[in-house]
Structures are given as structure tokens and as C-alpha cells.
Amino acid sequence: PNINWAILGDGEYNLVLDYLVKNLNSIESEFDEFKYRFSRYIQNIFPSIAFRIFHFKHSYLYDENNMDRDPVIVGESPVVVDIDKEDWKILQCLSKKPRSTYLEISSSLKISVKTVTKKINELTKKRIIMQYKIKINTNVFGLEHQKVFLYLKNYTRENIYEIISYLRFQPKVIFITKPFGVSDLEFEIIVSGRRELFEFMRELKSKFAEVIADSNTFL
């Protein structure tokens, strides 16, 4: 239940498991159990902790005049917010059916519409609910979802955020992750194929030649 994504890919990594956990202790027993079962299939394991994730809209689908590149940032606030049982139930309803009306949620949970409205407004104000999004099947458009790992040779706060700022305004970048692990910075990009990714990376490495030491990609 703690696995948010399971990704099969082509590149240095064959399988990526994305866990959502409260702390590192809670992942230990679960991941150990995974290794006990499947260690004979595993050659190497590369752990990475996502401190901060910048979520962008799929703005490559937009008209250029209506480009919206303001990110939703997960992990920005260190504050832990307490919520009650009714809040949890509302979140469960919305996670299953985000288009539910307040009336539908009220009927399902047997609580008043006024309470549902108030609680959703509070969850939004506290940034527990940050955005409602659709999942886009990029394969239908003949596009590829590539993850890029950057390794830096000149690691400073200014350099990190200069690269993030540059990537933020690239319409095909949909995620940027500031991690603790194998790489120094990660991002995900939607491209038409290897040639477009090659051209993008050549431009990026040229612009930050004094900062980027190496990179690898994962389809």
C-alpha cells in the first residue's frame, strides 16, 4: 500500500518503486521483505529520497500564448498537519472520484453538505489538497516519458536553483525532483523520441557546462 508508482523502463534502471512513507523506519521492514522475496532478481539497488518535487502542467499541449509554468511543489512545507477522521474519509472519496460533488460526498459519508464544503476548503487552505489533475497517456500521442538524472561537479545553492529555474520554463518538463541519493537533480520530460531528448540534453549541458558533470536517462 505504500508504493505510489511502480515503473518499468529502459536504461540503467529496469524497475523503479516509488514509496510514500512518514519516515525511513516505516519503509525498512517493507523494503526488506521485498528484498527477501526477490533478491535473486536484483543486481543493484539505488535509493533516492525526494526532498522536494515540482509538478508542472503538461504545457506542451497548450497554445504558447497561454503557457502556465507555475509549479505545485510537494515537500515545500516541513509542517505536519493533523486531520480528523472525516477529513480522511473526504480525501478517500476524492481520490476515488475527484469529480464528486459536495452533495455526493455528503450522501456517501452521511455528513452535511455544509461540513463537506467547510472541510474541503480547509484542506485546500492547508495545502493538503493542492491540485486536481488528469493522467495523460502520452503513448497515444506517440510521445515518450523520459526521466533524467543529473550529476553536478559544481554543487552550490545558486547553481541548483539556476538549473531548476531554466527547466521550469521548458514546456515539455513535467517534474523536477530535488533528491538525496545517487544523483544531484532529477527531472522528467515528454519528448517525441531519442533525437529530441539528445538535442534537449545537448542544449542543457552547453548552457551549464561548468556545472553538469554527467547525466543518464531512463525511459
Chain segment 111-153, per-residue pLDDT in tens: 999 999 999 999 999 989 998 888 889 989 999 999 999 999 9
Helix (H) or strand (E) holding 177: strand 173-181
What is the value of pTM for the model shown?
A: 0.87
Parallel, antiparallel, or unpaired for β 15-19 and 3-8?
antiparallel
Burial class of residue 150 (count of CB atoms within 10 Å of its CB; 0-12, 13-18, 19+): buried
Helix (H, G, I), strand (E, B) or coil at 69: coil
Chain segment 161-195, per-residue pLDDT in tens: 999 999 999 999 999 999 998 899 999 999 999 99
Q: Please name which of 61, 37, 32 lies closest in space to residue 47, comparing C-alpha atoms.
A: 32
Chain segment 3-13, per-residue pLDDT in tens: 989 999 888 88
